[in-house]
Amino acid sequence: MATKIRLDALPNVAADLADDVRAASTAEQAVTIAVGDRSNQLSPDLVALLLDLLDDVAEGRDVTVAPAGLPVGTELASELLGVSRPWLTTLLDRGDIPSTRVGSKRRVRLGDLLAYRRADDARRRQALTWEFLDEEA
């Protein structure tokens, strides 16, 4: 189940905490979280995830936490990608994004959807060219 949290009152706290975590991680120190009597050292991947989360909260953006295996329908999937449902169906039919059928409905795992979006964004950034700037000179 996805949990959506809006932390309007906490952007300054999140920014300060992000700065502390970032300083500790760049100083080659182990980042440890302590809650009560327990403390846990965080892996570098978890530190990166925590920093992304804290940066989003500090900027006042909505944050949604959901498991990667969460199945989503084609309507939500197309909204998340910013494409039409027919184009999403084309992507699913071509196998660009893995999907399953539940009766007549198609389901896409959230993790697969986000992986496709990241890869597509990377392809677009790589394809960007600034040659038109050279033409003006």
- Which tens digit of pLDDT belongs to each residue from 28-50? 667 888 888 898 888 888 888 88
Q: Are residues 28 and 77 in the same domain?
A: no
Per-residue pLDDT tens digits for 34-93 = 888 898 888 888 888 888 888 888 888 778 888 999 999 999 999 999 999 999 999 999
Domain-located, residue 135: no
Q: Do residues 16 and 51 both lie within one domain?
A: yes
Q: Are the C-beta atoms of residues 31 and 42 closer than 8 Å to each other?
A: yes
Q: Is residue 84 part of a domain?
A: yes
**Is residue 3 within a helix (H) or strand (E), and if so which, with residue range?**
strand 3-5
- The Cα angle at residue 29 between residues 28 and 32, in degrees rounded to 5: 145
The residue assigned the tokens 């189940």 is: 1
What's the predicted TM-score (pTM) here? 0.61
Question: In total, how many domains does the chain have?
Answer: 2
